[in-house]
Amino acid sequence: MRGAARYGIEHELALLRADGALADFASLTHAEVAAIVDELPDLPDTQTDLRIGDAGIRRKRWYAEGYERLDAHGELLRFVPKGIEIRTAVHDSAAAAEAALAADARTLATVAARHGLRPVAIGFHPVRSSYRLDPPPNAHERAVMAGSPEERTAHLHMVTWGPDLNLSFPESGTDPAVLADAAAKLTYYSPYLVPWSFSAPFRGGRPWGGLSARTSLRTGARPAALAYLEPGAPLLPSDPSLVRHAGIPGEIGRIEFKAFDAVAAVAGEEPADGGGTGLLGALLTLLTGLLRDDTLGGRRRTPDAAAHRRAALRGWADPGLRAGSLAVLGAAAAALAGEPAHEAALALLRDRLGRRDTPAGRMLARHRCGGGIVGVAPAAAGEPAQR
C-alpha cells in the first residue's frame, strides 16, 4: 500500500459490577446498557463514515454489543448484550484516532459509573467459555447463519472482547486485488502481531496456562483481517472470509484487523496496573508500516489456527514467535523511516517486546500477588468454575 493512511478504531469493552463480577450475557440486560447509551450523544447528521445498521442499535459512537435474536420473519426479537462498543470517526492520524477514542472512553466511564458499571479491557470471559443459543436458532436464524462463515460463528464473540483496527489508503485506490492482498498479508503475519495485545490469561475461573484464551479459541474460526470492496466486486471464496462488500460508501477500501485482544484506551480500563496507554495507536502504526512494507512476502487467505494457538499459549517465550514479531516490527519501522509521527509508537512496541511485557503477563502477576481475577467477584473466587 502507498501513501498516507486514514484510521478508525472499534473498541469492545466488558462491564464490571460494583462487586467486581462481570456483567455478562447471563446477567446483563439490554435495558441496563441502553440506559447508559441513552445518556450519550447521537451521531451528528453530518456523520457519513459510520454505519447505523438495520436494527438502529448503532446510532451513536457508543452502542450495545452482543447477539441479535430474530423471529421467524427476520424481525429483531431481543438483543443479548455482552458489553459496550465505542467507535471513532475516520481520522488522518493514528494519534488522532486514539485521542478521540480516549475522550469517548472517559465519557463512557463517567456515565457507566452512575449506573454501577465499570468498562474494562479483557480479552476473554474469565468464567464462561461458551455462549449457547437458548432457545436454539429458528429456521430464519439458521438460514442467516448459512449465509456466511462469520454469521455461522457469530456466537463465539459473546465470550471475547477485542478491537477492530481500521486503515484505508486513499492513494492506493480500491482495486479488489490490492485490498485482498493487503488483508492476506495481515492474515499471514497475524500470529506475530497479536502478542502485543494479549489480555486473556484466565478461563474457567483460573489461569488456563497461556496468555490469550481469545486467540486460542477464535482466530482461525473467525477472520484475522477483512478488506471491504465495492458492492458487486467479486469475492474470493474463503472460510472465514477475507473480503466482503462494503455496507456504506465510506467503508470501501477499508482494511480491518480483527485479531487483537482487548486493549485499554484509558488507564481506568487497564485490568492490571503498570501498562499505561498508547498501545492502540502503536498497533495502528505497526499495521501501517507492515502494509507499506514491500519486503515481506507471506500471504494467507485464512488464519493459521495452529500458529495462533501456539502464540496464545507461549507468547514471546517461544523463540520463533519472538523472531517473527521482531521481523514484522523491523519491516514496519523501515517502511516508516523518516516519519517522526510514528517514532514514539514504534519505540513503545520495541520496548514491550524487549521486556516480553503484555497485559496478560501483568494480569497473571497481579493474580499471583493475591489481586484476584478481573471479572470474578472476590466472594465467588472459591466457587466451582463454569465452562
Mean of the per-residue pLDDT values for the chain? 93
Residue 351 has pLDDT above 60, yes or no: yes
Are 286 and 328 in contact by the 8 Å Cβ rule? The answer is: yes
Interatomic CA distance for residues 327 and 308, integer angstroms: 17
Give residue 106's identity as a one-letter amino acid code: R
Give the rounded percent of residues in the chain with a pLDDT score beyond 90.
89
Interatomic CA distance for residues 262 and 383, integer angstroms: 26
Residue 28 has pLDDT above 90, yes or no: yes
Residue 287 has pLDDT above 70, yes or no: yes
Alpha helix stretches (DSSP H) within the chain: 30-38, 94-114, 139-145, 149-152, 176-193, 213-218, 279-292, 305-314, 319-335, 343-355, 359-368
Query: Which residues, 6 or more positions from 30, have their beta carbon under 8 angstroms from its beta carbon?
Result: 64, 66, 78, 79, 80, 81
Residue 276: per-residue pLDDT? 76
Are 125 and 159 in contact by the 8 Å Cβ rule? The answer is: yes
Give the rounded percent of residues in the chain with a pLDDT score beyond 70.
94
Average of per-residue pLDDT across 165-181: 97
Nearest to 381 by CA among 126, 90, 91: 126
Give, for 119, the enclosing helix (H) or strand (E): strand 117-120
Burial (CB count <10 Å: 0-12, 13-18, 19+), residue 227: buried
Per residue in 308-346, pLDDT (tens digit) is 999 999 999 999 999 999 999 999 999 999 999 999 999
Residue 381: per-residue pLDDT? 46
Per residue in 49-77, pLDDT (tens digit) is 666 655 555 678 999 999 999 999 999 99
CB count within 10 Å of CB 218 equals 26
CATH class given for the domain over 6-371: alpha beta
Burial (CB count <10 Å: 0-12, 13-18, 19+), residue 138: middle
Interatomic CA distance for residues 333 and 353, integer angstroms: 14
Can you give the pTM of this predicted structure?
Answer: 0.94
DSSP code, position 337: T
| 187-201, 221-235, 372-386: the lowest-pLDDT one | 372-386
Give residue 143's identity as a one-letter amino acid code: A
Residue 384: per-residue pLDDT? 42
DSSP code, position 160: B
